[in-house]
Amino acid sequence: MRRSIRAIGVTCEYVLYDYLIHFPYFAVRTLLSPALYLFGFGLGVGALTQAGGSAYFEYIFPGVLMISVMQASYTHFSSEIWISRQVDKYLELLMMVAPIYPLEAVAGYLIAGTLISLFAAGCFVVMALLVIPGLTISLGWLLGFTVGLGIFFVSLGIISGVIHTDPHLFNTTNTLIILPLSFLCGVFFPLDVFPQTIRFLLELIPLTQAVEGMRSNAPFLHCLYVWSLAVVTAVIAARVFKRKIMS
């Protein structure tokens, strides 16, 4: 038991150390586009609406905040795990030399991903409050949605990073996940504009539920859905990671 805890801690510590020493690069990669979405659309497009810039800024703020969590968790872990396995050969070395078992490594990644997601969300909230000081947000629900969504996208990033060997296919997969979700999950406009069937499919995506939950006065069911999908995806990620690393 003690050895497993230490093994999980080693993986988590390695990820966080790498994140901190390369933070300027990760900040540009994962926080720049959400920041441009928020300020470009929120202030720029919002200024053209009848409700005014501040109202639209406040409307899209919860959604863009959840996008920043998605970017920080999915992009970071899919890229880092792919590089660790295909370029640095770190993952196989970790299993052989440490030794750290696959499930312990996944647990370490999930814990590190949760901390990175919370850090990214916190930085984003502070940045938005500097522009619109009157923004209000429930810290409790922010914590619940950030951790749940972070676990879901870290798990998705682990699966993507470990199954791809072709860099072109890997980059294309990342684009096909990040870009459509950013624009179709109700961040910038209500889902009412879509036909009922498409809306139903979009509401199955945890990012959509997180965005709607952050805007809702009764977010419990939205948060429960996000956490349920996060647990299921984490179990799948652990199995895929173990099978790929051990094969």
User: Mind listing the pLDDT tens digit for each residue in 90-100?
Assistant: 666 666 666 77
In the structure encoding, which two tokens stand for residue 125, read together? Answer: 């909230």
**Average pLDDT along the chain:** 86
Which tokens go with 223? 């948060």
Q: Can you read off the two tokens belonging to residue 177?
A: 């996940």
Q: What pLDDT was estimated at residue 233?
A: 96
Which has the minimum average pLDDT: 18-27, 119-128, 169-178?
Answer: 18-27
With beta carbons less than 8 A apart as the criterion, state whether 182 and 32 touch.
no
SS3 133: coil
Asked if residue 210 has pLDDT above 60, the reply is: yes
Write the CB contacts of 62 (distance below 8 Å, at least 6 apart in sequence). Answer: 137, 211, 214, 215
As a whole number of Å, the end-to-end CA separation of the chain is 25
User: pLDDT digit string (tens) for 177-189?
Assistant: 888 998 899 888 8
| Cβ(230)–Cβ(149) below 8 Å | yes
pTM given for the model: 0.89
* Most distant CA pair in the chain, distance: 62
Whether residue 160 is predicted with pLDDT greater than 90 in this model: the reply is yes
**More confident position, 47 or 32:** 32
d(CA 243, CA 247): 6
What is the rounded distance in angstroms from the CA atom of residue 185 to the CA atom of residue 207?
7
